[in-house]
Amino acid sequence: MTMRWMGLGVAVLALAGCTGEDPEAQCVVARAVSDGSIGSFATVYTLLPGQNPDMQCAQLRPEAVGLQKYYSSNPDAPDTVAIRSARLGRLLEDFEERPDLDPAHAPYSVGALASESPGADHFCAVPELTPTRLDVPATDTLPAQSFAYEWSNLRIYNTPGIPGTQFVADLSYTENGCTALYQAKGIWPVVTCATGGKPDEAKCDPYPDYSVGRLRGSGINPLFPVKCDPVALICVLTGDVPSDETP
């Protein structure tokens, strides 16, 4: 994945402004900060029907998931989007002393955008992504471990009101031979909602409340219906993607 600087895009916008033509909307993915670090989305997993919720692989909890758009250095090649879960990052740390020795395995998934601009439904689609896989070798005293995330049908919503700050995707998650299927929904940014280690719904409120000393809102788009997840202690989406003015 090679990033192409966005200065070219700025020049194109300037040229379009000179000609009086509106520039074509581009697919964007929300980023955490201006230094280019990966943008984190508060992601909730919904187990698809027909599966056993008691299985270990069916226990994924809400978490931060990082998304990053990469600009292709080849103008004839599509731009790409990478995705990685915070849980996978923690697993890498947990098994640091037993690293995956297979160079073909990657701790992230990446796929090509189907188009440079959002479709008629305002989604930017990434139909196929490479698998994320972590295989931990066994030792004399510890068993081998295996984890795989297979993302597909990643769709990122892009409108002026929701500029790449919501996504939905399919996920096939495998843990030590157990596989579960999910729908994943994420919103940017990740906002923690704990006070004294307990859920605090007020921290998900997008508006300030000066009467209680809350001088700023959560930073979450007011269009997004959210709640504080009592386990993950982050604000997660309770509605659909997209969440907009239409009920």
The whole-angstrom separation of Cα 128 and Cα 196 is: 42
pLDDT of residue 216: 86
**Residue-by-residue pLDDT tens, the chain, 247 positions:** 444 333 333 333 333 444 455 567 899 999 754 433 446 999 999 999 999 999 999 999 999 999 999 999 998 999 999 999 999 999 999 999 899 988 999 999 999 999 999 999 999 999 999 999 999 999 889 899 999 999 999 999 999 999 999 999 999 999 999 999 999 999 999 999 999 999 999 999 999 888 877 788 999 999 999 999 999 999 999 999 998 754 4
pLDDT of residue 215: 81
pLDDT of residue 35: 39
Q: Let me know if 22 is exposed, middle or buried by CB neighbors in 10 A (0-12, 13-18, 19+).
A: exposed
pLDDT of residue 16: 41
